[in-house]
């Protein structure tokens, strides 16, 4: 048996670290937490300083037994869990289970899993940081207190199976409040007048928009509020000449973005590559723990992924500058390394998210990565490299065009030197048409120059309500308001989606009726729980525990008594909320009662209004784009209760008269037949991509391998509405 035992959290991480330590080290994994509060009771003694009762987690018996066996025969135990409060707490629990003295130097940590970082850590072990442990413990106990006492109240006042949480309830309220703003919004009419012009001497069309009038030699902005005002202006300029009133040229520097934090990574992955926050963190975890690279073994590709910091190590800065110099040239390299500032010192525990091996570019190892891994790794690589590149130099032009006393204005810009944009391009698809026009290239014009009118259009517009949140903008808002922390954004959004408090329509998020009802009840009776300022202040107090400035018991003592008093009061004063039923207009085929739409844990479904006397239910059918390959009718998708909610497709005439028997796990390819056997084609997946394949399992083509360059077409996700139901017999968690 090895003399030294190293305990990490995951088998993938263990495999990666194993490349850098010799045979005298045995590396094993705890597979996450091994102890937690019990699920059957609160597990917190509120009368005795909130003393928690921890138990070994169910299913971890074998892991714990092996850890004890390995530790008993080892001369030295190192606990190498992640370098954050969660990792520190796991290390503390492991030490408790293995009876390791907390004063021993048993803890090692590193920001990246590279040979140098691991070797440096193993030579400089430290004690377990009890402040970090207490910070995690305080959050865990606080969430248990809130969830364990609020959730049963929701069961009795709204319906069984609901839950509430310290962060999730505030996130839901943000979505609900935004929907209220949208509903209350009153659009205002306004009109635009757009002209297309060109210099008379040469054809170089450009567009400008009515801005205002010249009054006593000054330009005053004018808003056209109705058709009458617009028509009067059109009449005034009809047939009149256009000429350049003024040209203002300038230069500006565009600075690169800071390297990624957890929050900005989730936001950009949503905007640029369409990942949900949960998917981003899952793929990022794979990149951090290690990926099997052809010819090299298991290699960790990025630094630690849960961070608020934009700090970068001196070694990484030097490596990035060498790479920029070799790939782009000296003009793309600033005179000195760029350094970015954190909002506060508490955020400086880790580096920003960056590549761990600068010799492994995304392109050089693409064949070893899945499509999702490649896309996220390239995003991290490009963002970090660009953060150390020269500024982009942009020439700007602001142009005023005059017709009588009316001013039409346009702006343009030309990138003179791309700088960091050579590595991290603008995301033009996020821009409105007006913003894209503002970046358009303009002809070289002089004051007083005559212009020729090519086109003139007026258009009626209405002001728009605030935009609904997307995952990216909700995460940005949570971060700006100080609600939650980087590691909580993805699970928070996933939780309120799963619990049917919010739903998604494409990328946008909106509250469900259930979310509105629960939020209203909490806002009326537990103001602090859904108050943004209070929640942000609590996050700050929890952060101060982490750096030893506050006592965790005192923080909980200041919160719990008044909260518990509100729970007792609400139990007797709050009346039961009756959820409004949405009628379908159909009769139950089993008992003849009316069918209604119900909200379940996994979305909407149709049920008999006589439940529980009649237990008839069915999924809501969702129309998908495409046609049945057998009869040419439409297609609908369903979620399978038997196979863990997996989607399948049927003809919309299935079960009707005449009946079509088409049913498939895969969406048919519209209008395409197999050129070998003549069967219809279906969309199959390989490494996250969709490609067409013959549906006939006996077709000779199906004996061939999947194409490496499979199409990005994602037919399975082209649905008009997401509405599913999934049965579950598992017990719902009571807290976040």
| Ramachandran category for residue 507: left, alpha or beta (phi over 0 → left; psi -120 to 50 → alpha) | alpha
Predicted pLDDT of residue 437: 53
The answer to the question of residue 735 being in a domain is: no
The answer to the question of residue 726 being in a domain is: no
- pLDDT bin (cut points 50, 70, 90) of residue 439 is low
- The mean pLDDT of 584-613, rounded to a whole number, is 83
* 3-class secondary-structure state, position 589: coil
In terms of Cα–Cα distance, which of 184, 182, 175 is closest to 514? 175
The verdict on 112 and 28 lying in the same domain is yes
In terms of Cα–Cα distance, which of 261, 280, 267 is closest to 348? 261
The verdict on 250 and 399 lying in the same domain is yes
The verdict on 267 and 373 lying in the same domain is yes
Residues comprising the chain, all counted: 736
- The mean pLDDT of 643-649, rounded to a whole number, is 68
- pLDDT bin (cut points 50, 70, 90) of residue 507 is confident
Higher pLDDT, 408 or 624: 408
Higher pLDDT, 701 or 261: 261
DSSP state letter for 389: S
DSSP state letter for 597: E
Q: What is the pLDDT of residues 80-94, one digit of tens each?
A: 999 989 999 999 999
CA distances (Å), 615 to each of 609, 612, 730, in order?
A: 9, 6, 19
Rounded distance between C-alpha atoms, residue 76 and residue 4, angstroms:
5
Higher pLDDT, 673 or 207: 207
Rounded distance between C-alpha atoms, residue 624 and residue 637, angstroms:
7
The answer to the question of residue 729 being in a domain is: no
Question: Are 543 and 345 in contact, with CB atoms under 8 Å apart?
Answer: no
The verdict on 610 and 646 lying in the same domain is no
Q: Which of 25, 70, 78, 304 is catalytic?
A: 304
CA distances (Å), 642 to each of 564, 618, 654, 655, 725, in order?
A: 41, 13, 19, 20, 11
The verdict on 168 and 237 lying in the same domain is no
End-to-end CA distance of the chain: 41
Number of other CB atoms surrounding residue 597 within 10 Å: 14
The verdict on 339 and 443 lying in the same domain is no
The answer to the question of residue 727 being in a domain is: no
Of all residues in the chain, the percent with pLDDT exceeding 70 is: 89
Rounded distance between C-alpha atoms, residue 98 and residue 661, angstroms:
60
Please state which of the ranges 20-29, 399-408, 601-610 shows the lowest mean pLDDT.
601-610
SS3 sequence, 499-568?
CCCEEEECCEEEECHHHHHHHHHHHHHCCCCCCHHHHHHHHHHHHHHHCCCCCHHHHHHHHHHHHHHHHH
Question: Are 354 and 302 in contact, with CB atoms under 8 Å apart?
Answer: yes
Half-sphere exposure of 505 (CA within 13 A, CB side): 8
- The mean pLDDT of 400-425, rounded to a whole number, is 94
Q: What is the pLDDT of residues 99-119, one digit of tens each?
A: 999 999 999 999 999 999 999
The answer to the question of residue 730 being in a domain is: no
In terms of Cα–Cα distance, which of 36, 26, 21, 108 is closest to 67? 26
The encoded tokens of residue 359 equal: 């010799």
pLDDT exceeds 50 at position 347? no
Please state which of the ranges 29-43, 68-82, 180-194, 714-728 shows the lowest mean pLDDT.
714-728
CA dihedral 87, 90, 96, 101 (to 10 degrees): -10
Rounded distance between C-alpha atoms, residue 531 and residue 536, angstroms:
9
pLDDT exceeds 90 at position 142? yes
The answer to the question of residue 734 being in a domain is: no
The verdict on 15 and 119 lying in the same domain is yes
The answer to the question of residue 372 being in a domain is: yes
Question: Are 398 and 409 in contact, with CB atoms under 8 Å apart?
Answer: yes
Predicted pLDDT of residue 406: 97
| Ramachandran category for residue 400: left, alpha or beta (phi over 0 → left; psi -120 to 50 → alpha) | beta
Where does 640-679 show beta strands of DSSP type E?
A: 647-651, 663-664, 668-673
Question: Are 272 and 472 in contact, with CB atoms under 8 Å apart?
Answer: no
Question: Are 170 and 533 in contact, with CB atoms under 8 Å apart?
Answer: no
Rounded distance between C-alpha atoms, residue 305 and residue 705, angstroms:
35
Question: Which residue pairs, CB below 8 angstroms and at least 24 apart, start in 144-147?
Answer: 144/37, 144/42, 144/43, 144/44, 144/735, 145/42, 145/44, 145/46, 145/556, 145/560, 145/563, 146/529, 146/563, 146/735, 146/736, 147/733, 147/734, 147/735, 147/736
Q: DSSP labels for 58-91?
A: TT-HHHHHHHHHHHHT-SEEEE---SSHHHHHHH
The answer to the question of residue 499 being in a domain is: yes
The verdict on 633 and 668 lying in the same domain is yes
- The mean pLDDT of 713-719, rounded to a whole number, is 32
Indicate the pTM of the whole model.
Answer: 0.78
Rounded distance between C-alpha atoms, residue 596 and residue 601, angstroms:
16
Top mean pLDDT of 12-26, 95-109, 438-452 is at 95-109
Q: Based on the structure, what is the number of domains in the chain?
A: 6
Question: Which residue pairs, CB below 8 angstroms and at least 24 apart, start in 730-734?
Answer: 731/39, 732/161, 732/163, 732/601, 733/39, 733/147, 733/163, 734/39, 734/147, 734/148, 734/151, 734/152, 734/163
The encoded tokens of residue 519 equal: 């939020």
Q: What are phi and psi of 464, to 5 degrees?
A: -105, 150
Predicted pLDDT of residue 707: 44
- Cα 712 off chain centre by: 21
Q: What is the pLDDT of residues 669-688, one digit of tens each?
A: 887 888 888 899 898 865 44
Question: Are 7 and 21 in contact, with CB atoms under 8 Å apart?
Answer: no
The encoded tokens of residue 128 equal: 């377990």
- pLDDT bin (cut points 50, 70, 90) of residue 734 is very low
The verdict on 99 and 152 lying in the same domain is no
Rounded distance between C-alpha atoms, residue 257 and residue 424, angstroms:
9
Predicted pLDDT of residue 436: 52
**Host domain of residue 670:** 622-717
The CATH number covering residue 471 comes to 1.10.460.10
Half-sphere exposure of 143 (CA within 13 A, CB side): 22
Predicted pLDDT of residue 726: 36
The encoded tokens of residue 391 equal: 């500024």
The verdict on 454 and 340 lying in the same domain is no
Mean pLDDT for the chain overall: 87
- pLDDT bin (cut points 50, 70, 90) of residue 47 is very high
350-389 residues labelled b (16+ CB within 10 A) or e (exposed): bbbbbbbbbebbbeebeebbeebbbbbbbbbbbbbbbbbb
Is 304 known to be catalytic? Answer: yes
In terms of Cα–Cα distance, which of 629, 710, 626 is closest to 673? 629
Predicted pLDDT of residue 1: 47
The verdict on 404 and 492 lying in the same domain is no
The verdict on 556 and 638 lying in the same domain is no
């Amino acid at each position: 048996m090895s003399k030294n035992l190293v305990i990490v959290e995951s088998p993938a991480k263990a495999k990666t670290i194993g490349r850098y330590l010799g045979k005298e080290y045995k590396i094993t994994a705890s597979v996450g937490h091994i102890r937690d509060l019990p699920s059957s009771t609160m597990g917190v003694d509120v009368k005795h300083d909130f003393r928690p009762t921890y138990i070994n987690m169910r299913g971890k018996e074998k892991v714990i037994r092996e850890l004890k066996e390995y530790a008993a025969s080892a001369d030295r135990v190192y606990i190498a869990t992640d370098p954050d409060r969660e990792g520190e707490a796991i290390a503390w629990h492991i030490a408790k289970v293995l009876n390791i003295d907390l004063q021993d130097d048993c803890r090692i940590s590193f920001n990246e899993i590279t040979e140098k970082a691991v070797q440096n850590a193993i030579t400089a072990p430290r004690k377990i940081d009890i402040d970090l442990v207490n910070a995690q413990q305080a959050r865990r106990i606080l969430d248990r207190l809130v969830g364990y006492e609020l959730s049963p109240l929701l069961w009795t006042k709204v319906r069984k199976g609901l839950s509430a949480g310290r962060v999730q309830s505030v996130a839901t309220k943000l979505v609900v409040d935004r929907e209220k703003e949208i509903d209350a919004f009153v659009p205002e009419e306004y009109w635009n007048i757009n002209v297309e012009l060109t210099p008379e001497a040469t054809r170089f069309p450009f567009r400008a928009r009515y801005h205002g009038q010249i009054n006593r030699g000054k330009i005053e902005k004018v808003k056209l509020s109705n058709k009458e005002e617009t028509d009067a202006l059109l009449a005034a300029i009809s047939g009149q000449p256009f000429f350049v009133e003024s040209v203002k040229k300038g230069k500006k520097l565009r600075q690169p973005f800071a390297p990624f934090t957890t929050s900005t990574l989730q936001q950009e992955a949503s905007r640029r590559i369409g990942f949900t926050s949960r998917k981003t963190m899952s793929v990022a975890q794979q990149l951090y723990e290690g990926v099997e690279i052809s010819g090299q073994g298991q290699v960790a590709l990025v630094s630690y992924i849960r961070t608020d910091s934009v700090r970068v190590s001196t070694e990484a800065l030097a490596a990035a500058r060498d790479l920029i110099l070799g790939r782009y040239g000296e003009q793309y390299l600033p005179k000195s390394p760029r350094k970015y500032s954190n909002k506060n010192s508490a955020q400086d525990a880790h580096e920003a998210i960056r590549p761990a091996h600068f010799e492994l570019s995304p392109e050089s190892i693409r064949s070893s990565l899945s499509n999702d891994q490649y896309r996220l790794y390239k995003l991290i690589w490009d963002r970090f490299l660009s953060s150390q590149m020269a500024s982009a130099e942009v020439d700007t032009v602001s142009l005023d065009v005059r017709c009588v006393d009316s001013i039409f204005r346009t702006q343009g810009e030309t990138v003179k030197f791309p700088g960091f944009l050579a590595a991290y391009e603008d995301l033009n698809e996020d821009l409105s048409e007006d913003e894209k026009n503002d970046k358009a290239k303009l002809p070289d014009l002089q004051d007083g120059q005559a212009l020729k009118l090519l086109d003139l259009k007026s258009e009626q517009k209405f002001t728009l309500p605030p935009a609904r949140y997307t995952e990216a903008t909700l995460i940005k808002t949570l971060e700006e308001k100080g609600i939650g922390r980087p590691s909580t954004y993805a699970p928070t959004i996933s939780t309120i989606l799963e619990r049917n408090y919010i739903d998604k329509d494409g990328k946008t998020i909106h509250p469900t009726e259930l979310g509105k009802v629960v939020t209203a009840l909490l806002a009326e009776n537990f103001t602090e729980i859904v108050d943004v300022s209070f929640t942000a202040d609590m996050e700050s107090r929890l952060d101060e525990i982490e750096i030893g400035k506050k006592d965790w018991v005192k923080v909980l003592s200041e919160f719990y008594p008044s909260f518990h008093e509100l729970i007792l009061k609400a139990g007797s004063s709050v009346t039961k909320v009756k959820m409004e039923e949405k009628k379908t207009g159909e009769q139950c085929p089993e008992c003849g009662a009316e069918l209604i739409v119900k909200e379940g844990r996994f979305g909407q479904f149709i049920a008999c209004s006589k439940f529980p006397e009649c237990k008839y239910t069915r999924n809501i059918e969702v129309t998908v784009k495409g046609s049945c390959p057998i009869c040419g009718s439409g297609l609908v998708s369903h979620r399978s209760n038997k196979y863990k909610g997996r989607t399948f497709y049927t003809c919309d005439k299935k079960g009707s008269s005449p009946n079509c028997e088409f049913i498939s796990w895969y969406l048919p390819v519209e209008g395409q037949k197999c050129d070998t056997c003549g069967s219809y084609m279906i969309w199959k997946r390989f490494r996250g991509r969709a490609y067409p394949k013959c549906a006939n399992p006996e077709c000779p083509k199906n004996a061939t391998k999947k194409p490496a360059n499979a199409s990005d077409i994602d037919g399975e996700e082209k649905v008009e509405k997401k509405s599913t139901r999934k049965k579950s017999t598992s017990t719902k968690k009571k807290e976040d």
